[in-house]
Amino acid sequence: MFIVNVEAAIHKEGRWLLILRSEKEEHAAGVLSLVGGKCEQEGNSTDIFERTVKREVWEEVGIEVANPRYVNSSSFVTDKGIHVMDIVFLCDIKSGKAYRKSPDEVDAIYWMTTEEILQHEDIPTYLKDNIKLADKLVNK
């Protein structure tokens, strides 16, 4: 069984929204990442990925997003041996300005260009790959 995680690639004025994950986080604490989180069990439902990405962005950084479009999916195993399926969506900002709405999950917010992300030594390769894929969709 997998935990299903969704992430939002949010682009505005040539920059991507990244968060510095809180040191309190169980997985990837203190790492730069996209905004996102786990899908909750809902029984029978529709659009769970899209609704989850919208909810997580609102809960963590206080912006409302719309029009989630598929970017990429991958899987990984956490340090504790938990199997995770991760799905990235390119999202448009509908309203609001990003801020640390959830300090338990977010230590800082950054807006970075694709080039800054790709050249940053501490950003994980998987995030760089996701930004490259999302950037192609933005620049179609």
Structural domain spans, the chain: 3-138
Confidence label for 27 from pLDDT (cuts 50, 70 and 90): low
Confidence label for 129 from pLDDT (cuts 50, 70 and 90): very high
Q: Which CATH architecture has domain 3-138?
A: Alpha-Beta Complex (3.90)
Measure the N-to-C terminal CA separation of the chain; round to a whole number of Å: 36
Q: What is the widest separation between alpha-carbon atoms in the chain?
A: 43
Average pLDDT score, the chain: 91
Q: What is the pLDDT of residue 96?
A: 96
Closest by alpha carbon to 130, among 20, 14, 46, 16?
A: 16
Is it the case that residue 140 has pLDDT exceeding 80?
no
For residue range 59-95, list pLDDT tens digits in order. 999 999 999 999 999 999 988 899 999 999 999 999 9
Cβ–Cβ < 8 Å for 23, 102: no
